[in-house]
Amino acid sequence: MEFTAGFEHFVRTDEALAPYTWLKLGGSAEYFAEPTTIDELAAVVKRCRENEIPARVLGGGANLLVHDEGVPGLVIQLSHPTFSGISIDGNRMTVGGGAKLSHAVSTAVGGGLAGLEALAGIPGTIGGALHGNAGANGVDVGQRVVEATVMTRSGEVLTRTAQDLQFTYRQSSLDELVILSAVFELEPADAQELTRRMQKFWIVQKATQPGGTDNVGYLFFDPPGLAASSLIEQSGLKGTKVGGAEICAEHANFVIAGDDATASDVIRLAELVQSRVKEVTGMDLKCQLTVW
């Protein structure tokens, strides 16, 4: 049986992935699914399992690098409104895995709920943010999660409660295929005061990112207590190029992909930076890009 049989209305073949990523690089997905219901998602995930086809979920694409030759198997995008709802009940906010983190932050702030405003300006989806426990300003997204609903690689839907969840620096125990939704426990606060705080965090976050440049990506995690960008600068690497990929001159922890860049240029540039930083500062930088 053809893999897409019965799924034609939400599964496409040979879908270019570059437009879905910040770096705008890389090849195509063999199969690409945008399910419109949880049942459709479960059905396509089960078929992957039965046919031993690898499946992965595409979030906001901010730290994703797709290999030039593309991705075998299925790439799932939770772009349908089914997966991006946000609702507030008392101090709790339930957010779909496909919702943008920025939308969740502004909804909480507008509803007079504190706890997430420090994450203003961080790109990506809630699902992606929870997988990697995204954080800023001493706040991690996982700190506020009391429950998560996930789908396993066999298409089963499970609920993980606070006792099952572990969040550490830029890591979480949420390693199932899909994070369908999460419940955050927040604290009531003045919405206007929260809005001011959110705007301040947003401005600070934006100041650390290259302005007006498309095709950029974060390169490395900041080692505890240090900034990756300053280690890269100390190592004399600002503006370094490999092929069409270049270290951003104003924000050294970003790579800019020129018109002629390939994914392998970015990989080679990241390796060059890692070995040079290690040589000059003795520090090991861990790459923030997920490579498919």
Active site residue 170: yes
Q: To the nearest 5 percent, what fractions of the chain are helix, strand and coil?
A: 30, 30, 40
For residue 255, the SS3 value is strand
How many residues make up the chain in this entry? 292
d(CA 286, CA 281): 14
What is the end-to-end Cα distance of the chain in Å, rounded? 27
Q: What is the CA radius of gyration of the chain?
A: 20
Number of helices and strands in the chain (H, E):
6, 21
Three-state DSSP class for 72? strand
- Annotated catalytic residue, options 12, 153, 170, 197: 170
Q: How far apart are CA 246 and CA 216, in angstroms?
A: 10
Candidates 106, 72, 63; CA nearest to 195 is: 106
Return the SS3 of 264: helix
C-alpha span between 268 and 65 (Å, rounded): 12
| DSSP 8-state secondary structure symbol assigned to residue 173 | S
Question: Which DSSP helix (H) or strand (E) runs through 254?
Answer: strand 254-257
Q: Which residues are catalytic?
A: 170
